[in-house]
Amino acid sequence: MFQGLDLDVPAGRVTGILGPSGTGKTTLLNLIGGRLRPSRGTVQVEGHDVHRLSRAELYALRRRMGMLFQSGALLTDLSVYENVAFPLREHTRLPEPLIRDVVLIKLEMVGLRGARALMPAELSGGMARRVALARAIVLDPVMVMYDEPFTGLDPITKAVIVKLIRELNQALGLTSIVVSHDVAETFSIADYLYVIADGGVIASGTPAELRQTDSPWVRQFVNGLPDGPVPFHYPARDYYQELLEGAAP
Amino acid sequence: MIGLLQALGHWSLARVARLGRGHLFLVRTLASLPRLLPRPGLVVRELFSVGVLSLLIIVVSGGFVGFVLGLQGYVTLVRFGAEESLGVVVALSLVRELGPVVTALLFAGRAGSALAAEIGLMKSTEQLAGLEMMAVDPIERVVAPRFLAGFISMPLLAALFSVVGVWGGFFVGSGLLGVDAGAFWSQIQAQVDFRDDVLNGVIKSVVFGFVASWIAVFEGYDAVPTSEGVGRATTRTVVNTALAVLGLDFILTALMFGNF
């Protein structure tokens, strides 16, 4: 999927990774999280080669990473409160009153303290993502990866998620990686952007630099133009010739 | 012709690869069982959903199978004036064969399909991936408790099926058709051997429980994460469990009672 992909994610910043659907953005997050193994090359997090770590070391590293899945990936048999408490119960021996305090603090940060008794099925898409965000930061990770955090959300909820990502990054000193194809939202929060396509990085820079780019491909993507270097039509034989040939498929 | 051979080769390779995945998965599941010891609550919860919620279908089915055995057995035995052996016929049929086999088939339909669908849906909604990224092993947290609950439940359900079936046979034979109650029970006491009959039946139900639970959790875990994939996994669970149970039943019966 990737050929010669090379990118750095600076600590304490929001890095956006943009690209059209199917270019491997989620795969990239799975490589960083150690869920997939590259056939060649290395992925380093805090100086550790993720794919050379033992299972115990990888799990220890993952405790310092949070990931927000596109679907939220909440455990459907647990309430909002229990979902956020889940990593604490699994990885710490904190007493129950302390777990309660931590969970309420994290839910307050995402504005859902009042929804703690709800079940995931009772949440809207945006609320589910906010709960998942509270769960992703409950162990105070150093890095959070966001997989398509804006997809399928209404404008108000998108704005809420944008605000949360930016504020949490600043308040907690996180390193954030935002993978998305939503150009406006990602441009608004990212300190630095990579645009990936065809297995590699085709452009990178600050949002202001990318807006000024000469690359027709990047201009088409950033401006959302239907035709350009990425053609509107799927490759096919000549249209008129095919029509004249009759009904043969 | 070459295309056919190619397709056959692909199909065979895919089957072998799947078999390998299934065995590796089983090894990982078994290896994670000791880590459940400090957390019995996980297994107890699954015992409820796999075992307790299967009680109704097991008890009702056991009762009706017992009724039919009592009726069919009486109709046959009465021709030879041997209707007092009805208890033995009913008990041996249930303890040796029908108890473990029918329970395993019902278990696949009720609990196995539910396990496969639940795990498959957790995969398709990224809950398993979410667990991995929270540094929680989904095999240890999700699969192993369900596997263990199925393995424990199956022999207990099979025993219950047999007990209810014998009472069903007694109800029809003695209560409705007039077979002497004392003869019914004393024949069972005299003719049903604990080691040869009961223990072998228990061994069968343990083996079936292991296989049925393994197939169910593996099919769910290996499901293609789409609604169609989960549907197929559920169907495969029932079909594969039925085939495996019936095949294993023949092998175990031959080993236990075949005098080879």
Over residues A168-192, mean pLDDT: 88
Average pLDDT, chain B: 93
Within an 8 Å CB–CB cutoff, is residue B226 touching chain A?
Answer: no
Task: Tell me which residue of A225, A176, A147, A150 sits closest to A11, measured CA to CA.
Answer: A176
Report how far residue B217's alpha carbon sits from residue B25's, in angstroms, rounded to the nearest whole number.
9
Which pLDDT score is estimated for B249? 94
Report how far residue A99's alpha carbon sits from residue B42's, in angstroms, rounded to the nearest whole number.
20
Residue B25 has pLDDT above 90, yes or no: yes
Residue B259 has pLDDT above 80, yes or no: no
Give Rg (Cα) of chain A. Answer: 21
Nearest to A69 among B122, B129, B141 (CB): B129
Q: pTM for this structure?
A: 0.86
| Three-state secondary-structure class, residue A44 | strand
Pairing of strands A192-197, A175-180: unpaired
Report how far residue B126's alpha carbon sits from residue A132's, in angstroms, rounded to the nearest whole number.
12
Which pLDDT score is estimated for B54? 92
Q: Domains in chain B: how many in total?
A: 1
**Are B140 and B211 in contact, with CB atoms under 8 Å apart?**
no
Report how far residue A101's alpha carbon sits from residue B25's, in angstroms, rounded to the nearest whole number.
38
pLDDT digits (tens, 9 = 90+) for B169-181: 999 999 899 889 9
Report how far residue B139's alpha carbon sits from residue B157's, in angstroms, rounded to the nearest whole number.
25
Weakest mean pLDDT among A9-13, A98-102, B107-111: A9-13
Buried b (16+ CB within 10 A) or exposed e, B159-175: bbbbbbbbebbbebbbe
Residue A1 has pLDDT above 80, yes or no: no
Which pLDDT score is estimated for A248? 54
Average pLDDT, chain A: 87
Task: Tell me which residue of A12, A47, A11, A7 sits closest to A24, measured CA to CA.
Answer: A7
What is the distance in angstroms between the Cα of B133 and the nearest Cα belonging to chain A? 6
**Are A204 and A194 in contact, with CB atoms under 8 Å apart?**
yes
Pairing of strands A48-49, A44-45: antiparallel
Over residues B171-193, mean pLDDT: 91
Which pLDDT score is estimated for B110? 93
Compare all CA atoms of chain B with the CA of A145 and give the residue at the minimum distance: B133
Nearest to A71 among B126, B136, B137 (CB): B126
Report how far residue A231's alpha carbon sits from residue A228's, in angstroms, rounded to the nearest whole number.
6
The residue type at B124: S
Domain residues for the domain of B141 are 2-257
Inspect the interface and report whether the beta carbons of B130 and A73 lie closer than 8 Å: yes
Nearest to A62 among B122, B125, B133 (CB): B133
pLDDT digits (tens, 9 = 90+) for B49-105: 999 999 999 999 999 999 999 999 999 998 888 888 899 999 999 999 999 999 999
Which pLDDT score is estimated for A249? 55
Compare all CA atoms of chain B with the CA of A55 and give the residue at the minimum distance: B135
